[in-house]
Amino acid sequence: MNKHLDPRTDTPERSAGRRTLLRQLGGLAATACLPGIAPAQTVTRMKIAISIPESHPTTVALKAACAQILKESAGRLAIDVYPNGQLGSDTDTVSQVRAGAIDFVCTAGTIWGNLVPVTSINTVAFAFPDYPTVWKAMDGDLGGHIRTAFDKINLVPVGKVFDHGFRQVTHGAKPITSPQDLAGMKIRVPASPMLTSLFKGLDASPATVPIGELYTALQTKVVDGQENALPTIDATKLYEVQKYCTYTSHMWDCFTLVANKRTWSALPDDLRATAARILESHATEQRAAHDALNTSLEAKLKAAGMQFNKVDPKPFREMLQKAGYYTEWQKKFGPEAWALLEKYSGKLV
C-alpha cells in the first residue's frame, strides 16, 4: 500500500485523514472494474462538482482532462465530473468542498466573491474591453493576486482559469438600448453581491435564481430577463424563453477549478503534478473552444428566434460612476487589488 494511504502516517488530523482514507480505500474496490489495472493497484477516486450543463465548453474540457489524467496515471487517479448541479447548487458545493465532502468545485468568480471578495475583482463592470486585456490580467499579476486569496479559506486553485465569457443581457419582451431600459427590470443574477450591486446601480431589480431553475423562472415570468455569456444561454436553452439579446458585455467572468487544500496536498507528488499539468492544458484549449463557439452562436441563436442588438457601454459606465458603484467596490477590494485591476483596465474611478 502507498504511504499516503497508511493510516499511521496519513495526516495528524485524524478525522479528516480517516475520511480521505475511506474514500481512497473505496477506490481499491473499484480497481477490478478498470481494465488493465492489476488487482494490487491503488486507485484514488475524486469528484468535481460544476453547476453548468454537460454540453458547456468548460464541462467538456474538464471531462476530457479527467479522461487523460486516468490514462496518464495508469488508472491510479480517477476523477469524475458531475455537471448540471448534480451534487448541489454552487453555494452548496462550495461548502462541501471546504468541508472535504467533495474534492473539487469549478465555479465563477461571482460565486467565489461571497467567501473572499477579491476573488471576484475580475467581474468589476466594464473593466475589460476585450480578450487580449482579459488574458494579460488573469495570467498576469491580477490573476496571481486572486489565486493567493484562496489560501485564506484553505482552498487551492488548480490549473488556469476557464473562460466563462463576457455577459450579455436578455429580455423576454424588449431589447435593451440604453440604461433607462433597465429601470425596474426584474433581472436574474447569480448569488453575487457584485452583480446585484451592478444592476441596482442601473435601477434594475436583480433577483437571485439558481441556474438550474432559471429556465422555469423566465418561462413563468418570475423574472423578465437574465444575463449570461452566449455559450451559457445556448447550453441552458434560454433562447426558447427569451426573444431579445443585447450585447452589453457588462462583465467578464471565469470559472476557477478549486480543490480542498488538504485533499489536494494528500495526493502523491507525481499524481498532483500530472493532474495540474493536464488540467491547465485543457483550460487553455477551452479558452480557444469558447472563443470559437462565441463566434458561431449568434447565427445559431438567431435561427432559434433570438434578436440581437449592441449598445455603447459608455452611458452604462457613466451611470454606475454616478451611482457610486466603482467607489464602493474600490473600498471593498482595497488599494492593492484595485491598483492591479486598473493596471489592465485603466482608471475606473
- Are 158 and 257 in contact by the 8 Å Cβ rule? The answer is yes
Per-residue pLDDT 10s for the chain (349 aa) are 444 444 334 444 444 444 444 454 444 434 334 444 445 578 999 999 999 989 899 999 999 999 999 999 999 999 999 999 999 999 999 999 999 999 999 999 888 988 999 999 999 999 999 999 999 999 999 999 999 999 999 999 999 999 999 999 999 999 999 999 999 999 999 888 889 999 999 999 999 998 889 999 999 999 999 999 998 899 899 999 999 999 999 999 999 999 999 999 999 999 999 999 999 999 999 999 999 888 899 999 999 999 999 999 999 999 999 999 999 999 999 999 999 999 999 999 8
| SS3 state at 50 | strand
Place of cell 468545485: 105
- Long-range contacts (CB closer than 8 Å, 24 or more residues apart) made by 202-210: 202/316, 202/319, 202/320, 202/323, 203/179, 210/51, 210/85, 210/89, 210/90
User: Class of the 3-164+254-292 domain?
Assistant: alpha beta
Q: What is the pLDDT of residue 4?
A: 43
- Are 226 and 241 in contact by the 8 Å Cβ rule? The answer is no
Q: What is the pLDDT of residue 204?
A: 98
Q: What is the pLDDT of residue 40?
A: 56
Per-residue cell: 309: 442588438
- Are 161 and 143 in contact by the 8 Å Cβ rule? The answer is yes
For every residue of 170-201, DSSP letters joined together read EESS----SGGGGTT-EEEE-S-HHHHHHHHH
| SS3 state at 284 | helix
Predicted TM-score (pTM) of this structure: 0.80
- Are 133 and 252 in contact by the 8 Å Cβ rule? The answer is no
Question: Domain 166-252+297-329 is of which CATH architecture?
Answer: 3-Layer(aba) Sandwich (3.40)
Neighbour-count burial of 321, counting CB atoms closer than 10 A to its CB (0-12 exposed, 13-18 middle, 19+ buried): middle
Neighbour count for residue 75 (Cβ, 10 Å)? 19
Q: What is the pLDDT of residue 235?
A: 86
Q: What is the pLDDT of residue 31?
A: 37
* CA distance to 122, 129, 170, 274, per residue, from 166 (Å): 11, 10, 13, 31
Beta bridge partners, 46, equal: 79
Where in the chain is CATH 3.40.190.170? 3-164+254-292, 166-252+297-329
